[in-house]
Structure 1
Amino acid sequence: MILSNAINQDQIASYQQNLTNKPQSKVLERAVTHQGILATSADFSSEANMDPVFSIDLDTGKVANQKQSGRCWMFAALNTMRHHMANLFDLKDFELSQNYEYFWDKFEKSNYFYENVIKTANLPLTDRKVNFLMTTPQQDGGQWDMLCAIVAKYGVVPASVMPETYNSNKSSELNDLLNRKLRKDATALRELVSQGSSDTDLSAAKDQMLNEIYRLLAYTLGEPVTEFDFEYRDADKNYHLDQNLTPQSFYQKYIGWDLSEYVSIINAPTADKPYNHTYTVEMLGNVVGGREVKHLNLAISDFKKAAIAQLKAGESVWFGCDVGKESERQKGIMDLDYYNPDDLFDIDFSLSKAQQLDYGQSLMTHAMVLTGVDLIDDQPTKWKVENSWGEKVGTKGFFVMSDAWLDQYCYQIVVNKKFLPEDIRKIQETEQPTVLAPWDPMGALA
């Protein structure tokens, strides 16, 4: 069957007549051209339904602020840990150092990139994997398992010990320069491989490159501490001093989680990823030889049951979603009914969750923390969300997410394995994960 590609004048005339025949078309044209699509299509009755009151509501203190950086995954993960620590030690408005983890993540991602460059050095630059590597050698984003790999190797420290810098708060300059260096180093490593250089020569070249990366990061983020004193007052104003700590001993003493017990659960209802199976993503990670990314794909009902079980136990939940879709940032509302472009334009814009993933309409872009849920007859209607965009958005930085929005745009949670049914837990622990392509949407970084 051969279709004519050109639009003809008769078609245009019919489209014009169709528009003319629609009641109020000129009124709508005036409204949308002056106010924009979102404001014109907003249904403010959604605000009443998204009232920030929840039957389960954890007190987690003030929100953090990642500022002009893409470290949401790191902030969200450290926030879940600080919630736990604040409860144990009666701390108020306490934060763990995001900058400390950020330094080591950048450093390890550089080495991870070099290793992948060497592995793919015999492939042409036009190969899709090589192109994927060179498009973004490293970035601010990451995954829960990647944070676990950093914590396992380097520990954690209080924010007071390694505070934020200009470059951690506003990361574009650092990322641009670091990626420029990594691409330059990639040309050298590929050339060495093409010349048949020995492993010893490649290792020496990479060692010099990492030395320069360390210096670049130390100048921009500050050099990480190796030993420190932890000095604080608790909520009752009692003074505490703990001396001669290392980042690893601080983590064990003040947080103490067995991170192997916390696992990534995804909801990806696409045909290539059957439920109740595990998946990993090629070339996704940061620490060479460290914890690999591993996702267990569950139906949305099981996905939510695990999150609710952890919240009921008094523990917040790291989660990843596509935050920009159908959400009102300033008011902190994530609700499918807030904007109604379908009604405004009389066009069906709907896609299923699977279609959005398969056709590139949606993927995980942001990580936050679930700190509450509203249950009616034990079924969720809306969720309380702790963001990391400061207190000037939402309700002092907290958002409200409808359950329908979660169904459509939430892709990942992290829960303790004890909140999973035994048969599902066994799958997560024993099944060898299927390896997905580097560009699979489940490899998206929050």
Structure 2
Amino acid sequence: MTTFYNESLSNQDVKQLDRKGVFHSWSAQGSLDPLVIKSGSGCRLWDYEGREYLDFSSQLVNTNIGHQHPKVLAGIKAQLDELATVAPSHANYARGLAAEKILARVPAGFDKVFFTNGGADANENAIRMARAITGREKVLSAYRSYHGGTGSAIVATGDFRRVPNEYARGHVHFFNPYLYRSDFWAQNEEEEGARALQHLRRIIESEGAESIAAILLETVPGTAGILVPPKGYLDGVRALADEFGIVLIFDEVMAGFGRTGKWLAMDHFGVTPDLITFAKGINSGYVPAGGVIVSERISRHFDENMFFGGLTYSGHPLAMAAICATLDAMEEEDIVGNAERIGANVLAPGLKQIAERYDIVGEVRGLGVFQAIELVEDRESRQPLNAKAMGQLKASMVECGLLPFVVANRIHVVPPCMVTAQEAEQGLSIISDALGSLKR
């Protein structure tokens, strides 16, 4: 019988086993040296030699409720004793209850949830719904975005990983707002938002509105840099979608379910899309799950029309139990409120102090426990800090016991939503020390 608890295992044993048989994502395999993780609790992780790490990455920005939350583990175990798996065509209590709990936390006008295995296939199926209901093909999405690694999701993605994978058809990209590196020569947020909307209008007109099924937009782009949209921008996108009969999809996979200090990031802006995609924080990744929250208008279309989509593990009972337990625990323990308070009272002021202390910090920004430090060679040129320096920073933080989320020239400050003030301050202190010790 296989056992996963073995006191004699070392970090090297586990790493050798990994390198012998595991093929890693987004990597050249020969140069990998993965960090070994054995166990975790809350915001803490440990390796096989007892070394502790403060998780300021939330893994891939998904462990919103922290590691090994006892209520979520209990929910999964209870469902495991009842029924481990069931086909999606059957009715199952855990699936229905998960849908009910999700719908209770979104604006009025949504009435169904289509469950998937993660965020990428949530976006795939949202695109499929938009194309089916409009009879159109094109999907507009931002260059500064990440929507997943599967067929249409990776082509909807704007970053460099799209380019070797452009096999899906009908995708068009536009520039979303990013005042710090404005593509519109804007001097303030009002100009950036207005000019970005005019740019999007011209893309719609030039591509032919009658050919566009959907606008797919991360409410707050995450991997691209935690880019909080200017006031009025999302309202303007909603107005353009309405004007041209386009389905508006908000990708809340990374930003949703507590990350920004609200149940959904869209709650900050008061704008309602037609479809909402989710994953990650919905159950902190304890069992893979994602989905599409479907507006009543769109779900009614499929009352009489076939939906040509489905997944063997759609609404898997263990994943649904994890969702139910996560949402209950987040509400009972005010974890969403904690994310808001930690962001406003600890992270934001702490990052501002770091920005004032180090001239390689170009900008800090974010909401809740969804913050970013953008690093530059110098503030005048705003040239991104080089890869060698970023590598040194990452190594320094790990050496000091912090597990960071580093993307390009940025440190994303994204601890679990239940992080304490003391843990947040500890993490900021390690980041500050690493910046201070950087060899220039």
What TM-score do you get using the length of structure 2 for normalisation?
0.27
Higher relative contact order (CA 8 A, sep 6+): 1
Query: Which TM-score applies when normalising by structure 1?
Result: 0.26
Q: Which has the larger radius of gyration?
A: 1
